[in-house]
Amino acid sequence: MKAIQVGLLGIGTVGSGTFNVLQRNQEEIKRRAGRGIEITMVADLDTARAQAAVGAGVQVVADARAVIANPHIDIVIELIGGYGIAKQLVLEAIEAGKHVVTANKALLAVHGTEIFAAAHRKGVMVAFEAAVAGGIPIIKALREGLTANRIQWLAGIINGTTNFILSEMRDKGLDFNVVLKEAQRLGYAEADPTFDIEGVDAAHKVTLMSAIAFGIPVQFDKAYVEGITQLGAQDIKYAEQLGYRIKLLGIAKRRTGDATTVTHKGTPDGIELRVHPSLVPAKRLIANVEGAMNAVMVHGDAVGTTLYYGKGAGSEPTASAVIADLVDITRLHTADAAQRVPHLAFQPDAMSDLRVLPMSEVVTSYYLRLSVSDQPGVLAKVTGILADLGISIDAVLQREADEVGGEGATSTDLIILTHDTVEGTMNQALTQMQMLPTVLAPIVRIRKEELA
């Protein structure tokens, strides 16, 4: 059978990896796919660099629309990135009846509803394994491997840059900015690293996973997003002393009143969708995922807790996921569109309207660090506020004043771990505690996930 012809838009880090791996493993891939898969046309702004990367046998153009217009191209791979031209090109490729493969989580998390609807109308596939956790086949696991399950929650380290930064800060005591530069040099960070360090990239990815896990539309605008830029080195150290590591987690959790899901008395039904630094017990496997590696835990009612681990970024790891999508499409593109695996796992007319909960309704436990005057009654006042609001304390750690501030210091750090409580109630407690004259600085609050 004639090889399937692929057009590649953007041959940068992931695009070049995709071209190289496809070339290197073409025989093996052909045996798996049932026919050859060839990139026959490439579009990139830098045509000289692109031509040098692919050799003389492949047509290189500057205008991506020329690839979409080529009637011989069956699949278009979009590896440009961003919401701008990439969105137009993806929609135009769909309109032209081409299947699309993309690694562009930003695009799908924000415009996924429009893009998947267009693909559904045209009967083409939009595949995006590479958009979440790079080389880890987490989309396939959620959409197909775990299809028997009612997914209850998932939690992942899904941004390599921030995990690398947190690991290096903890291990080597390095400064945040030094480690960020190294992450950029190594190619983990996005073109604009703000997306990584402010949690936006992780929120794009967890938004996509939440849609597939729970059969809800992609709703990036409803996600709570908090990055690692405000995290202090002392909190990483205190967490360690209490038996925890701090990780930037993307969390999606189903909270409904039935017996099979996580709930908390009197709280409304919905989906928690959030990204923020979290204390994780050091004994959990995921707490030991270091450097730029990614890992995702998924808990299903039948299977229990599962864990997926691997490289979440980089040229060839990400290419591995892009090519897996190419093979899937090659196998399935002649199948009746209605029989294919739906883009978001659930049939488009069977999506759930379970709402994404506002952060004030989220239930979790907390690490609090209060800088307080070292004098009698301070602890009693703080714990009194928590008790009045029904917030249960799990552990308290108080450092000697001179250990924190040096000899003669009159203030110290008070660390409190709480049990699960509703975020809105915790906000009230923080407001009241902050007003105490003996609380000397803004209280640090980091959420805590036991992931048991």
Contact residues toward ligand HSE (CB under 6 A) are 134, 159-161, 188-190, 196, 201, 312-313
Residue nearer to ligand HSE on the CB measure, 183 or 363 = 183
φ and ψ at residue 342, rounded to 5 degrees:
-60, 150
Residue 66 binds ligand NDP, judged by CB under 6 A: no
109 vs 118 by CB, closer to ligand NDP: 109
Q: Site for ligand NDP (CB under 6 A): which residue of 3, 58, 85, 307?
A: 85
Considering the complex, state which of residue 205 and residue 445 has its C-beta at the smaller distance from ligand HSE.
Answer: 205
* 55, 38 Cβ separation under 8 angstroms: no
Burial class (CB in 10 A: 0-12, 13-18, 19+), 180: buried
Tokens 């001179």 sit at which residue?
402
Within 416-445, which residues bind ligand NDP (CB under 6 A)? none
Partner from ligand HSE, ligand NDP, none binding residue 80, C-beta < 5-8 Å depending on class: ligand NDP
Task: Work out what residue 196 binds among ligand NDP, ligand HSE, none; the CB cut-off runs from 5 to 8 Å by kind.
Answer: ligand HSE
Contact 172, 166 (CB under 8 A): no
Site for ligand NDP in 198-217 (CB under 6 A): none
- Quote the least distance from Cβ 80 to ligand NDP, whole Å: 4
Of the residues 205, 222, 253, 448, which is catalytic?
A: 205
Distance CA 345, CA 348 (A): 9
| Residue 203 binding result from ligand HSE, ligand NDP, none, given CB thresholds of 5 to 8 Å by partner type | none
Residues 338-367 touching ligand NDP, rule: CB under 6 A, are none
Question: What residues from 271 to 330 belong to the interface with ligand NDP (CB under 6 A)?
Answer: 313-314, 318
Residue 104 contact partner, candidates ligand HSE, ligand NDP, none, CB within 5 to 8 A by sort of partner: ligand NDP
| Candidate ranges 75-83, 171-179, 237-245, 390-398; the one touching ligand NDP (CB under 6 A) | 75-83
Q: Exposed/middle/buried for 351, CB within 10 Å: 0-12, 13-18, 19+?
A: middle
Amino acid at 14: V
Any contact of residue 12 with ligand NDP (CB under 6 A)? Answer: yes
Q: Can 205 be counted among the known catalytic residues?
A: yes
Looking at the Cβ atoms of 291 and 405, the one nearer to ligand NDP is: 291
Q: Does 69 bind ligand NDP (CB under 6 A)?
A: no
Write out the binding residues for ligand NDP, residues 116-155 only, by CB under 6 A: 130, 134
- For ligand NDP, the binding residue among 4, 6, 8, 14 (CB under 6 A) is 14
Cβ at position 267, least distance to ligand NDP in Å? 35
Q: Which residues are catalytic?
A: 205
Footprint on this chain of ligand NDP (rule: CB under 6 A): 9-15, 43-46, 64, 79-81, 85, 103-104, 130, 134, 191, 313-314, 318
